[in-house]
Amino acid sequence: MCIFCKIINHEIPASVLYEDEDVCAILDISQVTDGHTLVMPKEHVENILDCPPVLLSKIMSVAQTLSKDILIKMNAKGINVLTNAKPAAGQSVMHFHVHILPRYDENDRLIIEFKENENKDISIAYQRLTKEL
Ligand code: AMP
Ligand code: ZN
């Protein structure tokens, strides 16, 4: 059983912020920024790509509500909501989860950088993405 399934089954402790029959939200143990929270389905699905759409909608709805709450209660200035799918994207726990990362200032330990692409010929990607599989 994966570590998040163990948390959901109360086999290992966690700081649970929200729970219903389908969704659970806990404080991330790493606290990259203060109030860093994870929202996850109770059912074990590996990542966003495998998540049934109705369940995904419930998770995002909880993530939205919690984000508003966290923003106010933590006195944050902004929020990043993100999910990593597959190890190449930084996923380390293979149980789908959405990160809520409250933002405070440029020194708040989270760096997300959109680097300039020198060869930004979008026609190649456009051709590939509009072709039938
Ligand atoms: P990711 O790299 O997107 O798969 O994120 C996994 C996250 O799970 C990391 O931010 C970890 O800090 C967090 N994590 C791992 N184990 C635990 C745990 N026992 N309780 C809370 N968060 C955890
Ligand atoms: Zn699991």
Residue-wise pLDDT tens for the chain (133 aa)?
999 999 999 999 999 999 999 999 999 999 999 999 999 999 999 999 999 999 999 999 999 999 999 999 999 999 999 999 999 999 999 999 999 999 999 999 999 999 999 888 899 999 999 999 9
Q: Mark whether 97 is an active-site residue.
A: yes
User: Domains (ranges, CATH) in the chain?
Assistant: 3-130 (3.30.428.10)
Neighbours of 74 (CB within 10 A): 17
- Give residues with Cβ within 8 angstroms of 133, minimum separation 6: none
- For ligand 1, the distance from its centroid to the CA atom of residue 30, given in whole angstroms, is 7
* Residue whose CA lies nearest to ligand 1 atom number 16: 29
